[in-house]
Amino acid sequence: MSVYFILEMLGTLAFAISGIRLASAKRFDWFGAYVVGFTTAIGGGTMRDVMLSMTPFWMLDSVYLVVTAIALGIVIVLGRYLIRLNNTFFIFDAVGLGLFTVVGIEKTLAAGFPLWVAVIMGTMTGAAGGVLRDILINEEPLIFRKEIYALACVFGGVVFWACEQVGITGAVLQITTAAAVIALRIVAVHYGLKLPTLKGEGKK
């Protein structure tokens, strides 16, 4: 079992839990919550694969359906506890963001694309599922708010490149990149780091 596969499964579980947790807070039924969780987990990777002219990854292996079902079971069993924790969604979302950024970068590089494309695809893999999740539950997508979100994925791509330049490869490279994304996301939220807001005409 490769580190890449473990990262992908952990990312799937983390994103599915984040989606299902929010769906449960909105009082969706089990099926609706499963759909939100599955969409969160596979949305970004599906968009990536379509843009890379590949068959979407989840259509080649049913394990992603199973992992989402496990996530649903976790939320059902620990539902009241998870909903009471205000930071639960944030933690799982940050972990999924970091892990899926690595998955997206490495899959794009394996397909023969340059690193700058891989960084874009890694960002899409990490952030797009959350956009679809927020649309399904009728929330403003995190990526469009002032919080640093997708930019954390881009930062992960820079860390990936820097590690390669100094000869860091394999599991250490993957874990370091994911940790960088997660760390920036946590630091940004903790200290309220935000990008400047684009002001419209007539506003000061």
Residue 200 predicted with pLDDT over 80: no
- Are 90 and 99 contacting, i.e. CB atoms less than 8 angstroms apart? no
pLDDT tens, position by position, 174-190? 999 999 999 999 999 88
Q: pLDDT digits over 66-114, tens only? A: 999 999 999 999 877 766 665 666 788 888 899 999 999 999 999 999 9
Q: pTM surpassing 0.75?
A: yes
Give residue 81's pLDDT: 73
Tokens 């690193």 locate to: 115
Question: Which of 70-74, 103-107, 167-171, 192-196 is predicted with the least confidence, judged by mean pLDDT?
Answer: 192-196
pLDDT of residue 201: 64
The mean of the pLDDT values for the chain is 89
Which residues, other chains included, contact 184 with Cβ-Cβ below 8 Å and sequence gap of 6+? Answer: 148, 151, 152, 155, 156
